[in-house]
Structure 1
Amino acid sequence: MVKWFERIAQRVAHWAGQPVTFSIALAIVILWGASGPIFGWSDTWQLVINTGTTIVTFLMVFLIQNAQNRDASAIQAKLDELIRAVRGARDEFIGIEHLGEQELEAIRQALESEFGKSTPHHLPIKRLIGRR
């Protein structure tokens, strides 16, 4: 079941992000809107789009979350490998994604303090942004 879900989730996530999928969805909404006068703007006519979009939205939440979880795990594994491979990098940062939000914030603040508040590290960023 897990392999089946992963395979389906990957395919749907890929296709959901394609321009052709957006075009098809837009065409469906336009056709639905254009059919309003034919069906006399009835409650059933409205129920069709409401039900359809609710079902699609409900299912897509799970597929999108699966894709985000997979991507986050892959990125974290790559970052952990970089920390492990780079001489001078601190191995204690491997696995910090499992800490709570307050613990992560404390680490972030400690790193910024360690870097030094007097160092004008924001200036290169301003120059970079100014180049665009």
Structure 2
Amino acid sequence: MENTTPENEQAPKQRWSDRFDRFALYITRVTGSSTAFILAMGIVLVWAATGPIFHYSETWQLVINTGTTIITFLMVFVIQKAQNKESLAVQLKLNELISATKGASNRLVSVENLSEQELQVLCEHYSAMAELTKQASDLLKSHSVEEAIRDTEEKLSDQTARDSRGLVRSAEDISH
């Protein structure tokens, strides 16, 4: 008797999802290339050049219209899938930067899940903060190299401390 747990049912769905992810990434890379553009332009030029041969018939027009409509329809889904994955990856990277940056507001982690109204409130907050900063400082003045080095050293020191605390906890977990 075959085991039909939800986990076993999820495996085929996950494989199809993974395959479609790879397919969408491949197609967006290929279709976004110079070669793809040149090929598409070539097809349009060949189609246009054959107009007189086919006396600019409705069938001749239907060929390009149908082809471009089908390709556009399918590409919308492929591009959206690739865009969703890329957007999620960027959001995760930004969340990591926020969570790892001393002094950054953790309220902004997963901010993409807020409603439009909540985002507008945050936008107004940061706009007001930017205006106060503009009034209080010279916009042409940048951080010094020394400040950047000091900040980097602090971050590295903090990271080393976190890593060593994690190793101690891991060793304690293993010993128990």
Q: TM-score range by the shorter chain?
A: 0.7 to 0.9
User: Which position in structure 2 is the counterpart of 1:69?
Assistant: 84
Q: Which portions of structure 1, spanning 4 or more consecutive aligned residues, are displaced by more than 6 angstroms?
A: none
Highest RCO, 1 vs 2 (Cα 8 Å, sep ≥ 6): 1
Matched, 1:96 2:97: no
User: TM-score normalized by structure 2?
Assistant: 0.66
Letter in 2 for 1:58: F
Query: Hey, what's the Cα distance between the residues in 1 that align with 2:121 and 2:86?
Result: 25
- 1:47 counterpart (59, 62, 66): 62
Aligned residues: 124
Q: Return 5+ residue gaps in structure 2 as ranges.
A: 1-15, 141-176
Letter in 1 for 2:23: I
The structure with the largest alpha-carbon Rg is 2
Other-structure match for 1:105: 120
Are the structure 2 counterparts of residues 74 and 118 from structure 1 closer, same or farther at C-alpha, using a change threshold of 3 Å?
A: closer
Does residue 1:18 correspond to 2:33, yes or no?
yes
Is there any run of 5+ residues in structure 1 with no aligned partner, and where? 125-132
Read off the aligned partner of 2:118 and give its amino acid letter: E
Superposition TM-score, scaled by structure 1 size: 0.87
In 2: Cα distance, 1:39 partner to 1:55 partner: 22
In the aligned structure 1, how far is the partner of 2:126 from the partner of 2:22?
40
RMSD of equivalent CA atoms: 1.8
**Percent sequence identity over matched residues?**
44
